[in-house]
A and B are shown apart, each in its own frame.
Chain A
Amino acid sequence: MSAAAVLQADCVTHRYGGITALRQIDLTIAEREFLVMLGPSGCGKSTLLNLFAGFEQPSEGRVLLRGDPIAKVEPRCGVVFQNYALFPWLTVAQNIAFGPSIKGIRSPEKIANLIRSVGIEGFGDLYPNQLSGGMKQRVALARTLANDPEVLLCDEPFAAVDAMTRQVLQEELSRIATSEAKTVLFITHSIDEAILLADRIVVLSSRPGRVKESLPNPLQRPRTQNMLLEPESRELKQYIWRKVREEVLMSLQDSSRAS
């Protein structure tokens, strides 16, 4: 993985009020890299993602997209939200076509292709209210892809989906990210999910968040759920769990001290 850096956090510190969410974090995401960020609750994973999306500006340091500072909401970094954030007044097809329609582009074939590729054929005329959580997240993914972003920023997208649907969605995302050659920053609580999806896994420390560990994922692609049971990945899982566990304990101590 020696391609050019697409996303870069350069000595970023971010504070909310009196709380330091991130402290002097450095992170680089390479072209076509699928980077999964793991960390305890409140470690600032989502904050970093919001900075890359341009939803917020860092208190100190710089966030860069291909070397340019991200100064406002950046459509080239497409976000997939945990709670889907679908527009309830638009049908599935209209939701997916939203980004292109803003630019005045109408391409029904492209929308139909996306609907097919995320597996929601026949649902195009329904409203999001009529869909299950798993279906909604497929629509959200398709809506983001329709806008042709250079980077996908996924903020625990499968956290609210039931376990069986999650497995299917993980496989689909993995397939789409590879076939569309996307750079992905993916946030999760789940070590299994990280091992299944990531080219590289980054463990963040408890608040204030810093990069504690950055390890390449040796598992071959394409990956399946079964591979999680093999000795190689069990070792990896145990290693990551030790790292994450230290941080979870730290953050629990912090919060009990605070209360």
Chain B
Amino acid sequence: MTAFPASIGRRRELGYGAAGIALVTAVWFILTYPFFVEVTEHRTYVSTGEMHTVRDPVTGEILKIERPYYSNVREVRRSALVNPPALDTPENTLRDAWELLTTRGPNPNLLEHIAYSCLRILLGFVISCSIAIPLGVAMGLFPRLRATIAPVVSFLRPLPSISWVPLAMIWLGAGELQKLAIVFMGSFSAALIYTLEATLKVDPNLIRAALNLGVGPQDLLIRVLLPAALPNILSGLKVVIAIAWTCVISAEIVGTQVGLGSLIWTSKETSNTAAVLVGMTCISSVVLLLDALFERLERRLVPWMFVGAQKEDA
């Protein structure tokens, strides 16, 4: 007996999940549906094209002027509970998404926005991991190195990625290098700490067992330490990818016209809520997709973590 009820089953979960999404969409639709109709009447000048002559009362000149004609005009204004720019309708948002997807003009296409953000993240992530993982493992193995680097890392870790923007701009300008630097600085210390913790968490009995079976010091790293630490390193890197996303969005606030961060910031300048929503949806979708891809990679690299225990005694 567990304190909480067990799972409701895969199919029901999917059903309830779909219902949840439908509910949010419905609320959005209701909030932006133009329920309120406001009718105003005002007089307006209508051109008739009919000319007639009048004498100017001061100069006595004969003038040809159009006969003024005024008409009562009815204006119907529709409004919703929440109106743009606070929130745009689902249709407008979809239309904007479509326009962004199909544009070939001077403004970047939605796919370009996505591609640029992804490339910046992946490149920054790869660079930061390729330094952080070896260094983290080395810190796990050598207490002196650990003691030397730990305070520096403790200092770097609390800095949010956005706080690196000013220095990055002063040092590197506003180009791609600056974006990479922000992703790198934002994700490096997290990757380092996750790797260090994974290395320290390796069961010392496994190392004893390996030595007892005749493993030499050089084989120990490759054959025992790395595979033993790998599952925890990978689950740490999953968190680091999410951190890298927050970094790239901060980095794209300034100095670029392309990237999902830039898309939502520039759309905000023009109060284009629909485009902001499109950008946010894309960020979320890409993160989910990357997560799924990462889990595939994990299943490849650490298959033993995905096998269920058989509850059958010898």
A199 to B219, CA, bound (A): 38
A128 to B304, CA, bound (A): 8
Q: Mark B273-314, 1 if CB is under 8 A from A, else 0.
A: 000000000000000000000000000001111011111111
Q: Does B230 contact A (CB under 8 A)?
A: yes
A73 to B213, CA, bound (A): 9
Chain A residues with CB below 8 A from B305, complex form: 88, 129
A147 to B214, CA, bound (A): 9
Cβ contact within 8 Å between A130 and B308: yes
Q: Which one of A85, A126, A131, A169 has the highest number of Cβ atoms from chain B below 10 Å of its Cβ? A: A85
Chain B residues with CB below 8 A from A99, complex form: 213-214
Chain A residues with CB below 8 A from B47, complex form: none
Cβ contact within 8 Å between A132 and B212: no
Q: Does B203 contact A (CB under 8 A)?
A: yes
Q: Does A241 contact B (CB under 8 A)?
A: no
A83 to B208, CA, bound (A): 12
CB distance from A152 to the nearest CB of B (A): 11
Question: Which of A73, A119, A130 is in CB contact (< 8 Å) with B208?
Answer: A73
Please name the residue on chain B nearest to A73 by beta carbon: B211
Chain B residues with CB below 8 A from A147, complex form: 213-214
Q: Does A89 contact B (CB under 8 A)?
A: yes
Q: Does A53 contact B (CB under 8 A)?
A: yes
Please name the residue on chain B nearest to A143 by beta carbon: B213
Please name the residue on chain B nearest to A78 by beta carbon: B212
A83 to B230, CA, bound (A): 21
Cβ contact within 8 Å between A135 and B208: no
A85 to B310, CA, bound (A): 18
Q: Which one of A75, A168, A169 has the highest number of Cβ atoms from chain B below 10 Å of its Cβ? A: A75
Q: Does B227 contact A (CB under 8 A)?
A: yes
Question: Which of B206, B216, B303 is in CB contact (< 8 Å) with A87?
Answer: B206
Cβ contact within 8 Å between B314 and A85: no
Q: Does B260 contact A (CB under 8 A)?
A: no
A132-B311 CB under 8 A given contacts A75-B214, A103-B214: yes
Within 8 A of B (CB), among A39-97: 53, 55, 73-75, 77-79, 81, 83, 85-89
A102-B215 CB under 8 A given contacts A81-B205, A83-B205: yes
CB distance from A148 to the nearest CB of B (A): 10
CB distance from A150 to the nearest CB of B (A): 13
New A-B contacts (14) at CB < 8 Å, excluding given A127-B304, A130-B309, A138-B314 = A73-B212, A74-B212, A75-B213, A79-B208, A81-B209, A83-B205, A85-B205, A85-B209, A99-B214, A127-B307, A129-B309, A130-B310, A132-B311, A144-B212
Q: Can you identify 6 A-B contacts, CB atoms within 8 angstroms?
A: A78-B212, A85-B205, A87-B227, A129-B307, A129-B308, A134-B314
Residues of A within 8 A of B (CB): 53, 55, 73-75, 77-79, 81, 83, 85-89, 98-99, 102-103, 119, 126-135, 138, 143-144, 147, 162, 164-165, 168-169
Top 8 closest A-B pairs, CB basis? A134-B314, A85-B209, A73-B211, A99-B213, A75-B214, A85-B205, A89-B227, A127-B304
Residues of B within 8 A of A (CB): 203, 205-206, 208-216, 219, 223-224, 227-228, 230, 302-305, 307-314
